[in-house]
């Protein structure tokens, strides 16, 4: 064991990417076999269901029952996918896209403006109370407010509409977005704000021309976090919509499953299909997506 440890320690000293802040990449003397076992075990726990989902989604329903579940399909078929698309999933995909973009873009913009105001003004009682209000919003499970939200949406005549899902999604995204964005705006050197002010720029101009570009990674992170939350959201569509053509993907998935509960390959094809867009994004920008997922919790 001792020799492996030294060898691994040496390997640790060659981090696979530079670390900001000059701290050495790995934590020294920190190899432990228990963590190693956990690491490989977890890999199995994650990979087995995912492998099963993917191969099964290409099997014929008839062959699904008689073949080994872990054997790849003898005659792969796209029939299940065809069935899912015929069930209207393209429309649900468009709905999800509209709701997600329609909520994330305004949420991030208004949260950014609010964060800027909160950071730049240290004295105003108004902005300080606004900040406390948003912080309070973090401690409260917003799902608990769903009944009044339902009532409000009905009264606004927005029940069973995409806009009806967008508006509460914007509100629910604001507290965490403000918290993360204001932490990043706080890191922008004061001198830069001062020099903008000297040049006669208004706060509005400073906001968009200085603060926004300088904190763009944080903006992207927050946008991704919110987009994933809204894309995967289930409760709001469940409560605020009724007609099948207004469904977003998670709700459509649930309805599809209720309808074809014995057709396992078709259900799994619907799972793969609804997850595909996120997996593509994950492949393109894994690092951004992961930092977006923790939204600065452990930057």
Partner 1 sequence: MSPTATPTTARGSRNGGLAWLAVPALVFFVAFGVVPLVGVLALSFTTWDGIGDINVTGLTSWQAVLSDPGLPHALWVTFLVMALSWAVQTPASLLLGVFLANSQRYRAVLAVVYFVPLLLSSAAIAITYKALLDPNFGLGAGLGIDLLVQDWLGVPELAFGVVIFVVSWQFIPFHSLIYQAGVRQIPKSMYEAAELDGAGRVRQFFSITLPQLKYTVITSSTLMVVGSLTFFDLIFVLTEGGPGDTTRVLALDMYKRGFQANLMGPASVIAVILVLVGLVLALILRRLGGRDATHSQMEGA
**Segment near partner 1 (CB under 8 A); pick from 74-82, 83-91, 200-208:** 200-208
Shortest Cβ 245–partner 1 spacing (Å): 18
Identified binder of partner 1 from the candidate list 6, 46, 76, 78, rule CB under 8 A: 46
Identified binder of partner 1 from the candidate list 142, 158, 188, 214, rule CB under 8 A: 142
> Is residue 111 a contact point for partner 1 (CB under 8 A)?
yes
> Is residue 69 a contact point for partner 1 (CB under 8 A)?
yes
Please report the sign of the dihedral spanned by the C-alpha atoms of residue 94, residue 216, residue 284, residue 223. Answer: negative
**Segment near partner 1 (CB under 8 A); pick from 78-86, 87-95, 201-209:** 201-209
Shortest Cβ 82–partner 1 spacing (Å): 19
C-beta closer to partner 1: residue 67 or 77: 67
Identified binder of partner 1 from the candidate list 4, 7, 52, 78, rule CB under 8 A: 52
For the segment 84-103, give every residue that binds partner 1 (CB under 8 A).
none
For the segment 255-294, give every residue that binds partner 1 (CB under 8 A).
257, 262, 264, 267-268, 271, 274-275, 278-279, 282, 286, 289-290, 293-294
> Is residue 29 a contact point for partner 1 (CB under 8 A)?
yes
Identified binder of partner 1 from the candidate list 82, 90, 94, 121, rule CB under 8 A: 121
Integer Cα distance of 145 and 142 in angstroms: 5
How many residues touch partner 1 under the rule CB under 8 A: the total is: 123
C-beta closer to partner 1: residue 97 or 110: 110
Identified binder of partner 1 from the candidate list 62, 139, 191, 242, rule CB under 8 A: 139
Identified binder of partner 1 from the candidate list 192, 217, 245, 299, rule CB under 8 A: 299
**Segment near partner 1 (CB under 8 A); pick from 72-80, 83-91, 149-157:** 149-157
Spell out the SS3 assignment of the chain: CHHHHHHHHHHHCCCCCCCHHHCCCCCCCCCCHHHHHHHHHHHHHHHHHHHHHHHHCCCCHHHHCCCCCCCCCCCCCCHHHHHHHHHHHHHHHHHHHHHHHHHHHHHHHHHHHHHHHHHHCCCCHHHHHHHHHHHHHHHCCHHHHHHHHHHHHHHCCCCCCHHHHHHHHHHHHHHHHHHHHHHHHCCCCHHHHHHHHHCCCCHHHHHHHHHHHHCHHHHHHHHHHHHHHHHCCCHHHHHHCCCHHHCCHHHHHHHHHHHCCCCHHHHHHHHHHHHHHHHHHHHHCHHHHHHHHHCCCCC
Identified binder of partner 1 from the candidate list 10, 22, 34, 242, rule CB under 8 A: 34
């Amino acid at each position: 064991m001792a020799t492996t440890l030294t060898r691994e320690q040496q390997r640790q000293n060659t981090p696979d990417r530079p670390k900001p802040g000059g701290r050495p990449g790995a934590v020294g003397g920190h190899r432990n076999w228990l963590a190693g076992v956990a690491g490989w075990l977890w890999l199995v726990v994650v990979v087995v269901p995912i492998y099963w989902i993917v191969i099964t989604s290409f099997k014929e329903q008839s062959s699904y029952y008689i073949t080994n579940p872990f054997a790849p399909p003898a005659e792969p078929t796209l029939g299940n996918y065809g069935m899912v698309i015929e069930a209207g999933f393209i429309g649900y995909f468009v709905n999800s896209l509209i709701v997600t973009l329609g909520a994330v873009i305004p949420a991030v913009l208004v949260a950014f403006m609010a964060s800027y105001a909160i950071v730049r003004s240290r004295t105003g009682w108004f902005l300080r109370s606004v900040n406390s209000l948003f912080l309070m919003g973090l401690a409260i499970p917003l799902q608990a407010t769903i009944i009044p939200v339902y009532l409000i949406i009905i009264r606004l005549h927005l029940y069973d509409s995409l806009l009806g899902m967008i508006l509460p999604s914007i509100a629910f995204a604001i507290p965490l977005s403000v918290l993360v964005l204001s932490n990043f705006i706080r890191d922008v050197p004061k001198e830069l704000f001062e020099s903008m002010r000297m040049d006669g720029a208004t706060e509005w101009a400073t906001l968009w021309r200085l603060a926004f570009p300088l904190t763009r990674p944080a903006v992207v992170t927050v946008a991704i976090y919110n987009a994933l939350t809204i894309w995967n959201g289930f409760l709001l569509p469940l409560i605020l919509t009724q007609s099948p053509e207004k469904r977003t993907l998670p709700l459509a998935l649930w309805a599809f499953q209720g309808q074809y509960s014995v057709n396992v390959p078709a259900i799994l094809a619907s799972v793969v299909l609804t997850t595909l867009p996120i997996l593509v994004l994950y492949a393109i920008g894994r690092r951004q997506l992961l930092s977006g997922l923790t939204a600065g919790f452990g930057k």
